[in-house]
Amino acid sequence: MKKNIMSLFFVLTPFFSFTTLSCSTNEEINKTQINKNASQLSIDIKNIDQLGKENKIVKEKIIPNLEFKNLNSKYEITIDEFLNLFEGANQIVKINYFLTDKVSKIKSNLYQKTFKIGEKRKMLGLINDDLNNPNTNNLEEEKNQNNSPLTIRIGNWNVLNFSLSEKNENLVKNTKIFALSHLINHLKIDVQGIIELDNEEAIIALVNSLNNLDPNAKWTYTISDNSENGNGKNKKIPSDSKQHELAAILYKSSILKAKEFTNNKISESYDNSTFSPYYEKSNVLGYVRPPYALFLETLGNIKNDFTLVIDHFDSPGAKKNGESKVNPDSKNNLKAALGAQEADEAYNLVNVMNYFDKLDGKNDDLIFMGDTNIARGNLNTFKPLISEGYKNLINENINTSLGLKIDRYSNPYDKIFYKGTLETNNAKTYDLYNIINDKVLPNVNSLEEWKKLVDSYKSTSFSNDYAYIRSVISDHNPIYFDLILNANDVN
């Protein structure tokens, strides 16, 4: 996609609508000003009634019809990526773009605009909602009819305070995103959950990097809705609390498509409505970070669907804010102390999965993947879920969080639970301290070379070798498994 950036700009130029912003001609040009103009840019799709009646509108039709209403004449705009999601009345177009100062060549951060063009086109009577009609099928789906994968590899990863900003852009893109994207690609992941996410800009950059590594995959993403109208943020917690996080699910749109839940949403977060405290009866908080889910279906001649739910449970242990401590208890088969909040979140996971089981209709394949912060010996906190038929796919003796020494791992926090009629295989964690020795990162052949790369973007060096992995990439291993497709599975 990136190799077409300049050509996209030249295509766009005739359609720009410029309005010069009032400012002094002597005003110093800086990135803060460019970012401000980029973030406030008004973009419309004009001539929407002339784009044709097919269900799928491609970038060659959308791009020339973009209208930029308040673009400062000092700047050029570049479309970095065009994302075309879903079909019919649910079609969404996302445009990732940045501005460049014509004189200084300073670039803004990457920004995104979302257009719900399906709704507008339906109102105009321009689309055919009969997506089962073979004459209106998605072109990508038709192309994949004879290339169905036999398995889908599904992963989840706590990626440690993942954010992208003007201040950290060079460091994050050239170290963290470089490592994340290459390892996801190395592991041949098809669906990737991302937790401990701080902003959408980081996910956009990660998706771009993945698509640069494998353009045929056509990676795209959905992200939790943390707005006032969404369920992604627990509204009982102060809005400025650092406990709030985003969650995202990335997937290869070349082999998968997102499906609507019965509430007509493409993705959804648990609303805490059925949360029932067990370990601390007075707990009315619900999940600190509500679990997030996406309903997916495979493309091609084998059509299986499944719901993936991901989450990052409350941080481990009782904290100073009044959270109770749950002590080892032979009656409840708990072998280690833990905080009541994460214990109740584990106990209520069955309510979460039942919530999404109702939202995904007839589908009977449900997956939970997450960083649960449940210490070894406390698997019984998930007893209600296991009693409902969910299988724990990763042995509790396998540690998934990184220790404070190279090649040391400390806790089995990351879990995979599955219930369904499809078979599973190859449930694993990747030992992140091996990323250098396994030659996952191009042109990085030793830990010393990795340290040198990281230090080139930092003002100070880390005092310990392990921090170059644990603090730069993540303090957790990625986890993943294979879902084996079955043409005879109709639900």
Chain segment 358-369, per-residue pLDDT in tens: 999 999 999 999
Cβ neighbour number for residue 410 with a 10 Å cutoff: 15
Q: Which two tokens stand for residue 251?
A: 């997937």
- Are 405 and 481 a contacting pair, CB within 8 Å? no
Predicted confidence band of residue 81 (pLDDT cuts 50, 70, 90): confident
* pTM listed for this prediction: 0.74
- Are 9 and 64 a contacting pair, CB within 8 Å? no
Chain segment 426-472, per-residue pLDDT in tens: 999 999 999 999 999 999 999 999 999 999 999 999 999 999 999 99
Q: What local confidence, expressed as pLDDT, does residue 142 receive?
A: 42
Domain 151-484 classification at class level: alpha beta
Structure-model confidence comparison of residues 384 and 111, the more confident one: 384
Domain spans in the chain, listed from the N-terminal domain onward: 2-137, 151-484
Amino acid at 363: N
Average pLDDT of the residues of the chain:
86
Q: What is the largest CA-CA distance in the chain?
A: 75
Does the structure show a pLDDT above 70 at 117?
Answer: yes
Q: What local confidence, expressed as pLDDT, does residue 13 receive?
A: 41
Q: What local confidence, expressed as pLDDT, does residue 490 receive?
A: 73
Pairwise CA distance, residues 472 & 474, whole Å: 6
Pairwise CA distance, residues 477 & 400, whole Å: 5
Chain segment 274-296, per-residue pLDDT in tens: 999 999 999 889 999 999 999 99
Q: What is the mean pLDDT of residues 22-47?
A: 69
Q: What local confidence, expressed as pLDDT, does residue 24 receive?
A: 41
Q: What local confidence, expressed as pLDDT, does residue 401 receive?
A: 98
Structure-model confidence comparison of residues 33 and 381, the more confident one: 381
